[in-house]
Structure 1
Amino acid sequence: MPDEYVKLPGMSIASLIDPITAAGGPANLSQADAWMQGRTLYGGALGLVAYTAAIRAFPDLPPLRAAQIGFIAPIGGEIELRREIVRQGRNVAQVRSEIWVGGQCALTAMWLFGTAREPNAVHPSARPEDWPGGPEGAEPVMVDAGPAFIRNNFELRRAQEERGPGAPVVRRWARLTERDVLDPISELILMGDVLPPGAMRAMQRQGPVSSINWSFNLLGTAPATRDGWWLSENASQHADEGYSSERLRLWNADGQQVLDAMQAAAIFG
């Protein structure tokens, strides 16, 4: 690992999930400051915490297929975890997990788990347009810029020629600096929200941006890639009146799509 990606103390992924128990209730994310994005924890980290709370409480669930996450209020280190099975049918289980702070719900997530069935429709996802080539020789980015949790937990490389203002699309190769901690689904949840909104490229003035929600579908139950690299893309479909509708996608290093998502982002400034 290059020197610029050596992890600083207090940055570990384990610090996010080790405090989470099957019993739920109060938890102390003692290293939360290392994962802050503005006033709250990074959205992918919050999604990982909520997902871990669900699967540790109910370990016999079928594979995860989809999720809907609402980011309601800022979240720091002292939290309370609540989770329940909303409905469990023959093939599909729906689980709600929530993160509470100061007696108020600060995040709510619905997780859809489903067993595989004999397919009645088969349609593979398309390869990404303008394939950038593999990540191996791509230029590193965000080495000395951006939030600390990005610099110390993710390695990013350029996957598009565009720089600065332009078409509202942000595309990067991304991988975790720790790749032996999480199962593949948890890794995608932590990775899926790593880029800023595509609307960033269309902003007329510099200003903060913030995720409001995140809804995603997984396109398989055993995602895999080469050397930990995923191609991440955020593209604004429409932006106006302080909000952007974003499509988020992840592909593996061979161009197979593994996650398809939508997000509403607040565009300030």
Structure 2
Amino acid sequence: MTIASLLEPVDGTPGPRRLSHAADWMQGRTLYGGASALVAFTMARRAFPDLPPLRAAQIGFVAPVGEEIELGVEMVREGRNVTQVRSEIHAGGKLALTAFWLFAAEREANAVRPSDPPADWPGPPQENAQAMKGEGPAFIQNNFELRFGQARDADHGATIRRWARLTEQHELDPVSRLVLMGDVMPPGAMRIMQRVGPISSINWSFNVLDPESRSKDGWYLAENASQHAGAGYSSERLRMWDSDGRQVLDGLQCVAVFG
């Protein structure tokens, strides 16, 4: 089912909605994090259609998001260059997701520093074997094609890196595509778990480095790396690069590690 069908009920008007095409985007009891974040982002964009490009976001995954939801949105502040918007998703009468979006117009640069290229560039996706075919959550099988972005026979510590693209070339603007895909990798802490157990994203904060990104054939290299794990949680750094090795997204996430 296309992402456009999932987003169709999100018209920018606050109130109850039914995401009748959510089934293909579910991850256990809840909508996949990137999809639920995209619902909240689309709510902000459709409520205020003249916003400048998105530059940053802070998202709290509070509770499961299902088909029956209620959407809310408010303009927090509209400045000369920067506009801040809050959108929320309620489910079962309780807050399920809260998102704070920072939109900002482009200005003349007074500081320029290109992001560092990724270490151990894996080569283009077509030169890497397919990953997770017939494995993993249903939303992966239904909507994404993954290829390895690391040597399979090497020790990568607590880092997971894969090439990823949507199996259907949905008609999404570049930023919506990054929001949808930015949370696609499992946490790097999965590589170092001592026992099998569930994991759950608690929040996600990211900066958009290129709001006009259009990577070749829709492929992006996505990486999740645990920076510190302990006490049942992992601090993860999430990054994405386009097919030419330019970083387009930089983020952090707190993940609960159970078991």
**Range into which the TM-score falls when normalised by the shorter chain:** over 0.9
Which of 18, 23, 45 is 2:13 aligned to?
A: 23
Q: Count the aligned residue pairs.
A: 259
In 2: Cα distance, 1:165 partner to 1:50 partner: 37
Tell me how far 1:164 sits from its aligned partner. Answer: 9.3
Tell me the C-alpha RMSD between the 2 structures: 1.2
Normalised to the residue count of structure 1, the TM-score between the two structures is 0.94
Unpaired runs of 5+ residues, structure 2, are: none
Which of 128, 149, 152 is 2:118 aligned to?
A: 128
User: Contact conserved, 2:62 with 2:96, CA < 8 A, in 1?
Assistant: yes
Normalised to the residue count of structure 2, the TM-score between the two structures is 0.97
Q: Indicate the residue corresponding to 1:258 in structure 2.
A: 248
Percent same amino acid at aligned positions? 64
Q: Indicate the residue corresponding to 1:76 in structure 2.
A: 66
Q: Indicate the residue corresponding to 2:173 in structure 1.
A: 183
User: Contact conserved, 2:58 with 2:206, CA < 8 A, in 1?
Assistant: yes
Q: Indicate the residue corresponding to 2:27 in structure 1.
A: 37
How big is each residue's C-alpha offset from its partner over 1:23-68, in whole Å with a ceiling of 9 and x where there is no partner? Answer: 1211100122221111111000001000000000000011100000
Give the AA of the match of 1:138: N
In 2: Cα distance, 1:225 partner to 1:218 partner: 14
Task: Map residues 44-193 of structure 1 onto 2, 5 A cutoff.
Answer: 44-162=34-152, 167-193=157-183
Q: Indicate the residue corresponding to 1:5 in structure 2.
A: none
How big is each residue's C-alpha offset from its partner over 1:235-265, in whole Å with a ceiling of 9 and x where there is no partner? Answer: 0000001100000000000100000000000
How big is each residue's C-alpha offset from its partner over 1:150-180, in whole Å with a ceiling of 9 and x where there is no partner? Answer: 0110000001014697500000000001223
Task: Map residues 237-252 of structure 1 onto 2, 5 A cutoff.
Answer: 237-252=227-242
User: Contact conserved, 1:13 with 1:178, CA < 8 A, in 2?
Assistant: no
Going from structure 1 to structure 2, the CA distance change for 1:163 and 1:16 (only over 3 Å counts) comes to farther
Q: Indicate the residue corresponding to 1:211 in structure 2.
A: 201
- Stretch of structure 1 that moved more, 144-153 or 106-115: 144-153
In 2: Cα distance, 1:49 partner to 1:173 partner: 24
Give the AA of the match of 2:200: S
In 2: Cα distance, 1:125 partner to 1:48 partner: 25
In 1: Cα distance, 2:154 partner to 2:139 partner: 22
User: Contact conserved, 2:150 with 2:161, CA < 8 A, in 1?
Assistant: yes
